[in-house]
Amino acid sequence: MMRNKSERLQKIMSAHGVTSRREAEKMILQGRVTINGVQATLGQSAQFGLDEISVDGAILNNVNKPVYLMLNKPRGYITTVSDDRGRKTVMSLVQDVNTRVYPVGRLDINTDGLLLFTNDGEFANTVAHPSNNKLKTYEVRVRGDVHEAVRLMRFPIEIDGCNVQAKEAILSNVTVDGGVLIITVSEGRNRQIHKMCATCGLFVKTLKRLSIGTLKLGSLKSGQWRYLTAEEVASLQGTIHGK
Mean of pLDDT over the chain: 87
pLDDT, greater one: 208 or 17: 208
Predicted confidence at residue 61, as pLDDT, reads 63
Other C-beta atoms closer than 10 Å to the C-beta of 220 total 15
> Average pLDDT for residues 1-21, to the nearest whole number?
73
What is the dotted CATH code of the domain comprising 7-59? 3.10.290.10
Say yes or no to pLDDT of 199 above 60.
Answer: yes
What tens digit of pLDDT does each residue of 83-120 get? 888 899 999 999 888 778 889 988 999 999 999 999 88
> Which residue, 12, 9, 46, is CA-closest to 29?
9
Q: Say what the pTM is.
A: 0.75
Domain boundaries, the chain: 7-59, 68-131+217-236, 135-212
Say yes or no to pLDDT of 239 above 70.
Answer: no
Class of 68-131+217-236 in CATH: alpha beta
Number of H helices, E strands in the chain: 6, 17
Catalytic residue among 51, 96, 108, 112: 108
What tens digit of pLDDT does each residue of 29-56 get? 999 999 998 999 998 998 877 888 888 8
Say yes or no to pLDDT of 1 above 70.
Answer: no
Answer yes or no: are the C-beta atoms of 124 and 76 closer than 8 Å. no
Say yes or no to pLDDT of 2 above 80.
Answer: no
Catalytic (active site) residue 108: yes
Say yes or no to pLDDT of 241 above 70.
Answer: no
> Average pLDDT for residues 172-196, to the nearest whole number?
92
> Average pLDDT for residues 191-218, to the nearest whole number?
94
User: Per the CATH hierarchy, to which homologous superfamily does domain 135-212 belong?
Assistant: Pseudouridine synthase (3.30.2350.10)
What tens digit of pLDDT does each residue of 152-182 get? 998 999 988 888 889 999 999 999 999 999 9
pLDDT, greater one: 61 or 145: 145
> Average pLDDT for residues 11-24, to the nearest whole number?
79
Q: Are strands 203-212 and 111-118 parallel, antiparallel or unpaired?
A: parallel
Other C-beta atoms closer than 10 Å to the C-beta of 234 total 14
Cα separation, 36 vs 23, in Å, equals 21
Dihedral angle, C-alpha 74, 88, 85, 12, nearest 10 °:
-90
CA 185 to chain centre: 15
Say yes or no to pLDDT of 3 above 60.
Answer: no
Say yes or no to pLDDT of 213 above 80.
Answer: yes
Predicted confidence at residue 240, as pLDDT, reads 44
